Amino acid sequence: MGNTKAAKYNLGCGGECVDSLNCPYEVCLHDQKDVSVRTKQAEARREKVAVLWRSGMTYTEMAKELGVQQRTIARDVAEVS
């Protein structure tokens, strides 16, 4: 019946929407997924930056190696050093 659906909707989006931009709920499942994926990617990148930075790589080299902007590298270095 409608009970399962109602319970799910109380927690916000259940993932039925196409994407978070079109989601009628404030807390969208797609947003939450994106955030956790992004966080994991950022953590993985920071670990790599830490290793490369200690090995003596420059910001430019690391940015090229990891496919991100130097600004991102600089922020990561500041956090790991």
Which residues form the interface with Zn ion (CB under 5 A)? 13, 17, 23, 28
Alpha helices in 55-80 (DSSP H): 59-66, 70-80
Q: Based on CB atoms, which residue is closest to Zn ion, 17 or 57?
A: 17
Query: Which residues, at least 6 apart from 9, have a Cβ–Cβ distance to it below 8 Å?
Result: 25
- Minimum distance, C-beta of residue 40 to Zn ion, in the bound complex (Å): 20
Q: Which is nearer to Zn ion, 7 or 51 (CB)?
A: 7
Q: Which is nearer to Zn ion, 13 or 62 (CB)?
A: 13
